[in-house]
Amino acid sequence: SMPDPHGDPSWPQRKITNADAPPHDERTPPLSFEVLAVDGRARASVLALAHHDCRTPMFMPVGTQGSVKGLTSAQLLDIECQVVLGNTYHLGNRPGADVVAQAGGLRCFMNWPRATLTDSGGFQMVSLLDLADITEEGVTFQSPTDGSQMLLTPEKSIEIQNDIGADIIMALDDVVSSVTADRARFEEATHRTTRWIDRCIAAHKRPHAQSLFGIVQGGLDLDLRDVSLKGLLARGDNLPGFAIGGLAGGESKEDFVRIVAHCAVRLPENKPRYIMGVGYPLDLVVCTALGADMYDCVYPSRTARFGTALVPEGMLRLKSHSNENDHRPIEAECDCLTCKHYTRAQLHKIATKEPRAANLLTIHNLRYQMRLCSAMHTAIIEQRFGTFARDFIYKQFPSGDIPLWVRQAMEYAEIDLIR
Amino acid sequence: MKFQFTVNFKDRRTNARLGEVLCGADEVDGDVSTLPTPAVLVPTSKGEHAVLTLDLLANVEKRLLSVLFYKRGEKLTIDETTRLFGTVVIGGHFVEKSGRGLKRIRDEEDGAKEKAGEDAEEERARAAHAHAEKGPPSQRLTVGHYRDSMYFGLNSQSRAATGIVCDTPFGQKSMTPEEYSRIWSGDAHVAIALADEHVGWESMKKSKTAAIRTCEWLDVCVRESKANDIPLWGVVLGGEFKDVRAECSKKVAERDEDLAGYVLGGFYAGETPSKRSELIECVIEHLPAQKPRYLPGVTTLEDIIDNIERGVDVFDATWASETASRGRAFVFPIRSEDVLDWDEETDEWNQPCATTGADAYSINIWSTAYKRDFSPFIDKTTRGDVCACPACTEHTRAYVHHLLQAHEMTSQVLLEAHNLYHLVSFFAEARRALRDGTWARFATFHRRYAASSRFVKAAATPATSAKNNQALEK
């Protein structure tokens, strides 16, 4: 009963090559989106990409530099991850687009058999603002490691993304921190994003293999958001999907909800809607209620490294003394490796202290996100998403002290919060 | 706790032996595992491998079992109970906070003896209950030790007559033999007696004192081991002095009926390497043959081969982890057939490489030479055998090089998995050679390989230079 390493197709992954991908007809688009069911504004869909058929709502773990910190690709498969994110700016710097291209693209480089998505480098305009110089031409970044300069233009970003080869690529947008007080800057960014989208579309050399998503900007101003939406929708023929950007920064949750509620339903129904930088489990439920399909965030993996596990009630801080003698797993219903083999007491001893603890908690937190999205998908198909959302919210706020932004979102979504 | 060691086969020409450790939880019938020896113990941090999660550790073992079963399986008995490595867990890592653990026990010792007896009983019961709730330990042989080979700081100043100083999660703490012994209930299949281990260059006088103290502590540990029902391995010390070593070995062996095995302590601790061989032989000479011998700290292959021939049964895998932490992957050949076209004269293939930092045993994945190298760590073109570890099967040198440069933790995961797999694979081959009667060939090959890897080439002849220049130009 020993598995045969040479004959058994289920034997843990051999290295994938581009030859493994299904032969692709250049005339058919590499993305198809089918909404299986709608419940209120929420949708359950199949997003078919060249390398994986994804079920949405979908959470996409972030593997900025080509790995989801501490985990191997095999472990990502175990938790049923569908899409992994890579970052254009970071991978373009190190190891460089040419190395990734030579490997056969990001999926071959990190041996990830399913789908990938690359962010354009736009967010680094915010996160690395001190090192960035933004002009109409593009963004000049100064590397924090060796001071060398990289000029990231829309053309350059798309070129790097073409080399990295992800299934979904993002347009380079002019991203402004949402807490900027300068409306003129937001206006400039909104219009520039539209001008840049044309340059992105023109520069995209592999539309038959990679799907370009446009990003709605406009800060916290609904008028600017409408300008951005209009510009993007006019270019809809070249944009298989859309994202809502410029959020998940420091803005208030009420503003966040207002913008998402406004933009999500104004994006086409027959294309995927991706909210960048979201988020916490509660954010996923709220945004799905408002009509979004795809999410990415570093929070689950990052908070894991700091010893916090995601649970239905919210967060479990494993270093807390209350866990010292708690011999239950993090979550009894969870099927992840960590919950099957470790108790809270054991994790309490090693959280933030041992390298493996970071991996164990990351595995749980990402699996939690996957299960949450899967549960939402099923609930929408079974036409009980309202109940699901309500139960989820009350699990997190058992005494009924539901925050204003959540109540506002449920109003938009027409989900009744009264028990 | 069940622990049993049997010697199944003895080599004719050397003192090497093939054995088997059977261990498991007493309560459940059939819930045992078998670890063939000579075997290797994986270093741990707080009870488990520092970097590799359960699934990866099991993956490494499963792959190797499959390879052995399919490729070399005819004479091997492998079933679900076979394990290919054990673990060594460190006492200091389990020390509880002072409110409940050491301090309390120490206060009890200072107080009334009878009360101390009862409270100690209660403490043990509570600990046992807590451990029982955690579930049984993994069926992998777990040996409890005081010495952490990964971070062993031999601090002779802080040794006291009453115990040793060790690193715990709550700082440095001194531990008496009683306190140390009580750590082990439920966590280990075997406990190693507390010993007054010291640096290898210690004076004769201090070595003697330490050896005497160790024997005294052994008595305490024997008593505790019976009370806690944990089999015990006695430690032999003695520094660099043959007579002290011999004396200590005899003394410890006198306790044979109370002991389940022996540990050759205080080696690879800074003693003179040239003296080490005869010291080890001198210790083993006085140890009974039917119990296992553990020699912690061994690193090089030559030493492993030499010590297997001296009759050591258990080693540790610290070398694999240390090599991984430096960003290096093992590539040394395991069998002579693994080496393709080995020409000892020119030996181009085996030469250490100044530009990449490779040596005969491992390659330096930090080197930018691997930036575009999409082959696995062990590449079929340079070695006759393919490595079936998770890292080589699923990833490439270029990827791990990138992860190292990007300071991503996954690099450590992949390097540890590979290095552990490779080292365990070496031990499996050593056992096979003993079983098939080809040990002499196996040992000779590795000795020659080691010697040639250190061989300093004489001044280059014109012929050699030309060949070297050609290689550089390629």
Number of H helices, E strands in chain A: 16, 16
Q: Search chain B and give the residue with CA nearest A113.
A: B394
Q: Does B472 touch chain A (CB under 8 A)?
A: no
Nearest to A350 among B46, B372, B390 (CB): B46
Q: Are residues A116 and A173 in the same domain?
A: yes
Q: Are residues A120 and A241 in the same domain?
A: yes
What integer pLDDT is reported at residue B235 of this predicted model? 97
| Residue given tokens 């994938």 in the structure block | A16
- Separation CA B241–CA B251 (nearest Å): 15
By the 8 A CB rule, do A141 and A128 touch? yes
What integer pLDDT is reported at residue B173 of this predicted model? 82
Contacts of A103 in chain B (CB under 8 A): 374, 396, 398-399
Q: Are residues A268 and A400 in the same domain?
A: no
Q: Search chain B and give the residue with CA nearest A106.
A: B399
What confidence category does residue A153 fall into, taking pLDDT thresholds of 50, 70 and 90? very high
- A388 occurs within a structural domain: yes
Nearest to B406 among A94, A99, A341 (CB): A94
Q: Does the pLDDT at position A43 exceed 90?
A: yes
Q: What percentage of chain A has pLDDT greater than the value 90? A: 80
pLDDT tens figures, A224-236:
999 999 999 999 9
pLDDT tens figures, A239-261:
999 999 999 888 999 999 999 99
- A385 occurs within a structural domain: yes
Amino acid at A71: L
- Separation CA B141–CA A409 (nearest Å): 55
Q: Are residues A153 and A231 in the same domain?
A: yes
Q: Which of A256, A272, A295 is the last residue of a domain?
A: A295
Q: Are residues A287 and A314 in the same domain?
A: no
- Separation CA B12–CA B439 (nearest Å): 10
- A23 occurs within a structural domain: no
> Rounded mean pLDDT of B437-464?
73
* H or E element in which residue B59 lies: helix B54-72
- A135 occurs within a structural domain: yes
Query: Which of A8, A15, A93, A94 is most worth mutating to test chain B (most B CB atoms within 10 A of its CB)?
Result: A15
What confidence category does residue B123 fall into, taking pLDDT thresholds of 50, 70 and 90? low
A123 or B471, which is more confident?
A123
Cis before A207 (ω within 30): no
pLDDT tens figures, B268-312:
988 998 899 999 999 999 999 999 999 998 888 999 999 999 999
Q: What percentage of chain B has pLDDT greater than the value 90? A: 53
Q: Does the pLDDT at position A23 exceed 70?
A: no
Amino acid at A53: D
What integer pLDDT is reported at residue A126 of this predicted model? 72
| DSSP state for residue B268 in the 8-state scheme | S
Nearest to B393 among A12, A70, A71 (CB): A12
- A185 occurs within a structural domain: yes
Instruction: Looking at the complex, report in whole angstroms how far the Cα of residue A413 sits from the nearest Cα belonging to chain B.
Output: 41
pLDDT tens figures, A83-137:
999 999 999 989 999 999 999 999 999 999 999 999 998 887 677 777 778 899 9
Domains and CATH numbers, chain B: 2-37+84-316 (3.20.20.105), 325-473 (no CATH)
Nearest to B371 among A99, A343, A355 (CB): A99
Q: Are residues A255 and A109 in the same domain?
A: yes
Nearest to B413 among A72, A345, A349 (CB): A72
- CATH number where A148 lies: 3.20.20.105
| Residue given tokens 């470790």 in the structure block | A342
- Separation CA A406–CA A408 (nearest Å): 5
What integer pLDDT is reported at residue A299 of this predicted model? 96
Range of the domain at A55: 31-295
**Which has the closest alpha carbon to A297: A264, A268, A315, A274?**
A274
Answer yes or no: do A2 and B52 touch at CB < 8 A: no
Buried b or exposed e, range A90-111, using 16+ CB within 10 angstroms = bbbbebbbebbbbbbbbbbbbb
Contacts of B410 in chain A (CB under 8 A): 67, 69-72
Q: Does the pLDDT at position B35 exceed 50?
A: yes
Q: Are residues A224 and A322 in the same domain?
A: no
Answer yes or no: do B53 and A359 touch at CB < 8 A: yes
User: Looking at the 3D structure of chain A, how many domains does it have?
Assistant: 2
Contacts of B78 in chain A (CB under 8 A): 2
Q: Looking only at Cα atoms, what is the longest distance across chain A?
A: 69
- Alpha-carbon dihedral angle through residues A398, A399, A404, A407, given to the nearest 10 degrees: 60
DSSP string of A22-83, one letter each residue: PP--TTS-SEEEEEEEEETTEEEEEEEETTEEEEESEEE-B-TTSS-TT--HHHHHHTT--E
Q: Does B52 touch chain A (CB under 8 A)?
A: yes
Q: Partners of B338 in the beta sheet?
A: none
Q: Is the ipTM, as predicted for this complex, more than 0.90?
A: yes
Q: Does A181 touch chain B (CB under 8 A)?
A: no
What integer pLDDT is reported at residue B104 of this predicted model? 43
Buried b or exposed e, range B317-341, using 16+ CB within 10 angstroms = bbbbbebbeebbbbbbbbbbebbee
DSSP string of B110-176, one letter each residue: HS-HHHHHHHHHHHHHHHHHHHHHH-PPPSS-EEEES--TTT----GGG-BTTBEEEEETTEEEEE-
Average pLDDT, chain A: 92
Between helices A385-396 and A355-381, what is the axis angle to 10°?
140
Q: Are residues A308 and A225 in the same domain?
A: no
- A366 occurs within a structural domain: yes
Q: Which of A295, A314, A343 is the last residue of a domain?
A: A295
Q: Are residues A247 and A341 in the same domain?
A: no
Q: Are residues A140 and A166 in the same domain?
A: yes
Of A145-159, A272-286, A361-375, B220-234, the poorest mean pLDDT is in A145-159
Instruction: Looking at the complex, report in whole angstroms how far the Cα of residue A110 sits from the nearest Cα belonging to chain B.
Output: 7
> Rounded mean pLDDT of A183-191?
90
By the 8 A CB rule, do B236 and B265 touch? yes
Q: Which of A239, A263, A295 is the last residue of a domain?
A: A295
Q: Does B74 touch chain A (CB under 8 A)?
A: no
Q: Are residues A131 and A215 in the same domain?
A: yes
DSSP string of A87-151, one letter each residue: EHHHHHHTT-HHHHHHHTSHHHHTT--SEEEEE-S-THHHHTGGGEEE-SS-EEEEPTTT--EEE
pLDDT tens figures, B172-195:
888 899 989 988 877 789 999 999
- A226 occurs within a structural domain: yes
Does residue A296 have an active-site annotation?
yes
> Rounded mean pLDDT of A6-26?
59
Residues 363-382 of B with CB under 8 A from A: 371-372, 374
Does residue A119 have an active-site annotation?
yes
- A339 occurs within a structural domain: yes
Residues 106-135 of B with CB under 8 A from A: 130, 133-134
Q: Are residues A356 and A258 in the same domain?
A: no
Contacts of B59 in chain A (CB under 8 A): 12, 74
- Separation CA B473–CA B457 (nearest Å): 20
DSSP string of B169-235, one letter each residue: TTEEEEE-HHHHHGGGTTT-SEEEPP-----TT--HHHHHHHHHHHHHHHHHHHHHHHHHT--EEEE
Answer yes or no: do B134 and A341 touch at CB < 8 A: no
Contacts of A327 in chain B (CB under 8 A): 133-134
